Amino acid sequence: MNLSEKDLQYIWHPCSQMKDYEELPPIIIQHAKGMYLYDTQGNSYMDVVSSWWCNLLGHCNDRINQAVKTQIDQLEHVIFANFSHTPAITLCEKLHKIVPTGLEKFFFSDNGSAAVEVAMKMSFQYHYQTGNPQKKRFMTLTDAYHGETLGALSVGGVDLYSELYKPILLDVIRIEAPDCYRCKYGKTRNTCHAECFIETEKSFARFGNETSAFIIEPLVQAAAGMKIYSPVYLQKLRTLCNEYNVHLIADEIAVGYGRTGKMFACNHAGITPDLMCLSKGLTGGYMPTALTVTTQKIYDAFYADYQEGKAFMHSHTYCGNPLACAAAIEVLNILEEEPILQTANENSAYFTNLIKHELENFSYIGDIRSIGLINAIELVKDRERKTPFDASYRYGYQIYKKALQKGLLLRPLGDILYFNPPLIMTRDDMKKAIKICTSCIKEVLETKT
């Protein structure tokens, strides 16, 4: 039995129809370096999706490896209630200097979905303990993605992940998300005034008083297909949330850490959320760790004599794991000491121009959108009408399979292909990736039936 067969004998893979593995068995990765993964058969794959958007500075980064190795001989893990350690303290001290002003307190958990659950529970409990127990609903955008646990799934809006579970999810208030490619108001993202915000205003007028928090992926709805919208929307949302005493939860899990060209997506709008969720890039993609960062004001509403029962009684076994903190500190050291973000920003227009040059005139390309090094290519059946392909043809998946044969790990979202590479991607790798991607798109779509 080879390794792939053995894998399938035991392992149920995430976000997969396991029957698909009959045709495309799991690829067994033996080692990795920088942008590249190497399998046991001697093939390599350029990881332009950062292994689900978490790998920030390349695989097996020498500095992060060393930081984790040093830490593991000191302390691997310790209970985090009433105990602490230098890596956690140093990490929060460093992060405090760079998160949006006004965010003061750091709550650890161990994955992005958990950080979202923490934010939702904190928000509700804050209102409960400050005389507003009626504030118990959450507002969210259509097409949002906030994770897979039941609370996080409730505020998500990507039907592929949540539709089936509706009967067991929370009753949330869902607002039509900005859609800059198919803008109803005929505007463009760079010059609009977020005219679509009118939908949000209507919902606040109706439901603002019973709403605890509005949760949003700032600037990019990533899982929806890297849908990018104007920072003006976030500014208007900040103002409206203040007016209605509704918390703004910024889920920066995918877009934080320089993915949009600034350290946090909220920076583009110059806003401070009441709660901010971080994971993925936080540890450079090394370790499952997450943070929910919040204000002194929210923290204070929980601070009381024990008997008052106001504590936040939430915990995860691996809260504040020292190995993860060591990796996360080194990520920040690297970003401070090396011009990584600056170089990524210099390369970002180059990357987009290259994609446009190769693909803009191809008839099945509906939209090419970008921010930072995130670039998405939306395939459509009819360019004029912007009509999508029938999803059952799975063109995106076919392109994905072809690209793997040519050494590129693309993993599209439906028929939206995207690049969300580590910030260290070089121009040579960009050229190479786009060349492969273009040829796969053309091979699949020019020969389609």
Ligand X SMILES: *Cc1c(COP(=O)(O)O)cnc(C)c1O
Positions touching ligand X (CB under 6 A) are: 111-113, 116, 145-147, 217, 222, 251, 253-254, 279-280
Q: Which residue, 109 or 398, is less far from ligand X as judged by CB? A: 109
Q: Which residue, 143 or 251, is less far from ligand X as judged by CB? A: 251
Q: Which residue, 251 or 274, is less far from ligand X as judged by CB? A: 251
Closest distance to ligand X from the beta carbon of 54 (Å): 8
Sign of the Cα torsion 63, 115, 259, 394 reads positive
Q: What is the 3-state secondary structure (H, E, C) of 6-29?
A: HHHHHCCCCCCCHHHHHCCCCCCE
- Residue 310 CB contacts under 8 Å (≥ 6 apart), including other chains: 129, 301, 302, 303, 304
Q: Which residue, 208 or 261, is less far from ligand X as judged by CB? A: 261
Q: Are 144 and 338 in contact (CB under 8 A)?
A: no
Closest distance to ligand X from the beta carbon of 122 (Å): 16
Distances (CA, A) of 320 to 46, 111, 444: 32, 11, 46
Q: Which residue, 374 or 444, is less far from ligand X as judged by CB? A: 374
Closest distance to ligand X from the beta carbon of 221 (Å): 8
Closest distance to ligand X from the beta carbon of 131 (Å): 30
Closest distance to ligand X from the beta carbon of 192 (Å): 23
Q: Which residue, 203 or 279, is less far from ligand X as judged by CB? A: 279
Sign of the Cα torsion 113, 118, 123, 128 reads positive
406, two tokens:
């040519």
Q: Output the residue with the shortest Cβ distance to ligand X.
A: 112
Q: Which residue, 112 or 208, is less far from ligand X as judged by CB? A: 112
Radius of gyration of the chain (CA): 22
Q: Are 292 and 320 in contact (CB under 8 A)?
A: no
Closest distance to ligand X from the beta carbon of 405 (Å): 27
Per DSSP (E only), the strands in 317-445 are 365-371, 374-379, 408-409, 416-419
DSSP string, 208-232: GGGEEEEEE-SSEE-TTTSEE--HH
Q: Which residue, 280 or 411, is less far from ligand X as judged by CB? A: 280
Closest distance to ligand X from the beta carbon of 384 (Å): 32
Closest distance to ligand X from the beta carbon of 152 (Å): 6
Q: How far apart are CA 24 and CA 21, in angstroms?
A: 5
Name which of 221, 281, 286 is nearest 253 in CA terms. Answer: 281
